[in-house]
Structure 1
Amino acid sequence: MKNYYYILLLLSTFYACKKNPDQKTDEDELKPVVMVDELLSNQDKWWTYQYNRISLSSDFEPIDTSFNVIPKGKFLWELTSGNFVPIEMESDSLKTYKLYAIPTQSKNEISQIIKNLAKSEFQFYLMEGKPFPEFKAKNMEGEVIDQNNLIGKTTVLKTWFINCKACIKEMPELNKLVDRYENENIQFISLALDEKKDLEKFLEKTEFNYAVLPEQKDLIQEALKLNAYPTHIVVNKSGKIVKVLSKGSDLIAYVKEFMKNPDKELEVNSIPPPPPPLP
């Protein structure tokens, strides 16, 4: 009985949407921005497109295979099956992604990548609207920082470690973001895995303008349940997570838009976690 109730709850939440669930977009007006068959016939070409053009953490209009507008949570959940890829559609307004079935001959090459990406994005999506977890840490100067320091300001956090090449590569652009908002009500904090002494040596040679909290494995991996580096988290003035992103470029674009209206009311993405897969 509990399982039956849980399934009903899951399905009803997935299909709950502000728009009419039966609403269909105009197939004649919505066209993919790429040649889909050609794209999916080449893994390297697809991955270049996926990495540079698709941002599942951004705000977009989700379309299913039948051109129905569906909730974003449902869209991401479908991607976790590994049977679909998101393709950007031509649109004059909000960015629009449509689910396209992966051809049988491409499934072994592309499906697993999409599945892993979608699982992370689905997790990020479920974090939005939730309070940032309680924590207590010391920064590089020995000052105690906890969740109360996140109240009253917009906070941007980054998870990283010294030997993470992707984490280091994006630091110059993140430094420009800090410079851009240094006189506004926003703070930048990084959660590092490394010990203080190692971080001191690293920061002598590499400029990084975020405040650094050393040895944050427990907060990152246990409290936040994050295992991908870097991960970026935006927290609003009330201490609630508003966005979780994997790429610095997506973070920069999001912060620029968010800071135009940092007091915007936030909706909680209350989709329950998916049930375990069938044996």
Structure 2
Amino acid sequence: MKKSIAFIITFLIFTYSSGQTKYGNPEVDLIQIQKDYSSWWTYQIKNIMLSRDFVALDTLSREISKETFLDQLVNGSYIPIRLKSQDSICYYKLFKIEPNSDTSIKATINQEAFDAFKNFKMENTPFPKFSFKDLNENLVSNETMKGKIVVIKCWYIHCAACIKEFPDVNQLVEKYKNREDVLFVSLAEDTPEQLKVFLKRKPLSYSVIPNMKIYMNEILQLNAFPTHFIINKDGLIAKVVNNYKSLEVALEEESKL
């Protein structure tokens, strides 16, 4: 009897310390994906979305805040891995980067996490004062956007990544065309004349506001393009993301609220 009790206690301690029973195992082989930069990046780009809502775990499978998780990725030598889960919740766990892995992996993780951390800090803050006219002379402001979910794309003509996602974001506009409470606005650095010529070749279904370089650089303090904001109906920033995949997921979540 005493042996049985001892075994149960030992099992529970092991389970608690490993966290595997509760949260699941890593969905990939940690050694294999760190063999080279390409292997890691293929996994990262398809499976890790630092902008999304997730349960953050440290190396001992203890729950930590998202802020702490991102800070560890920015300043430490960790790799984020998604865990297999029996529920619909997304779990990301920190693992130590292998000592012999490509140094570019750590450098890229640090930079990706830095951008994600900066974006995260903007969440739940008011979107800065805003009142401009689009290419069709329609006024777009905090007041006209009040009570709406607003998707804002920040871009410029010579940003290849910004233009590449045009077909995807146009499909997103089409998907929500019957939602009167969802607006799509874009801020562009370029002049009205430049934009009108460019958009004839590369149509964008968003409302386009020109001459926004100073506003984006000085007020929004952006250092990466494209950047997408999702503003909730209270005028607060719900999400800030830097790619279409993250935008699609974030908007789906926000539009359900």
Fold conserved between structures, TM > 0.5: yes
Aligned partner of 1:252 in structure 2 is 248
Partner of 1:140, secondary structure, is coil
Give the structure with higher Rg (CA): 2
The structure-2 alpha-carbon separation of the partners of 1:195 and 1:250, relative to structure 1 and needing over 3 Å to count, comes to same
**Alignment partner of 1:148: what SS?**
coil
Q: Could you list the per-position Cα deviations for residues 126-158 of structure 1 after superposition, in whole angstroms to 9, with x for gaps in the alignment?
A: 100000001232210223322222211110001
CA RMSD of aligned residues (A): 1.5
Contact 2:151 2:184 in 1 (8 A): yes
Displacement of 1:116:
0.7
Residues 205 and 199 of structure 1, relative CA distance in 2, 3 Å threshold? same
Instruction: State the distance in 2 between where 1:66 and 1:153 align.
Output: 42
Cα distance, 1:40 vs structure 2: 1.1
TM superposition shift of 1:259:
1.1
Structure 2 unaligned regions, length at least 5: 1-15
Alignment equivalent of 2:44, drawn from 43, 50, 54: 50
Aligned 8 A contact 1:82 1:112 in 2: no
2:150 matches 1:155: yes
Q: How far off its partner does 1:82 sit?
A: 4.3
In the alignment, what sits opposite 1:16?
A: none
Hey, what's the Cα distance between the residues in 2 that align with 1:219 and 1:126? 19
2:136 aligns with one of 134, 141, 151: 141
Q: Give, in angstroms, the shift of residue 95 of structure 1.
A: 0.8
Is residue 54–residue 86 contact of structure 1 (8 Å, CA) maintained in 2?
A: yes
Q: Deviations over 1:57-80 (max 9, x none)?
A: 011111100110111110000000
Amino acid at match of 1:45: S
Per-residue CA deviations over 1:196-222 (Å, capped at 9, x if unaligned) read 111000111112100001111122121
Aligned pairs, number: 239
Q: If each structure's helix is expressed as a fraction of its own residues, which one has the higher value?
A: 2
Give the aligned residue type for 1:46.
Answer: W
The equivalent of 2:57 in structure 1 is 63
CA deviations 1:226-261 (Å, max 9, x no partner) are 111111110011111001111112211221222121
Query: What amino acid sits opposite 1:130 in the alignment?
Result: T
1:105-254 equivalences under 5 Å are: 105-106=100-101, 108-184=103-179, 185-254=181-250
Tell whether 2:20 aligns with 1:27. yes
Q: Which residue of 1 aligns with 2:30?
A: 36
Unaligned 5+ segments in structure 1 are 1-22, 262-279
SS at the partner of 1:99?
strand
The percent identity for this pair of structures is: 36
Q: Distance in 2 between matches of 1:68 and 1:233?
A: 31
TM-score after normalising by structure 2: 0.89
Which amino acid counterpart does residue 86 of structure 1 have in structure 2? P
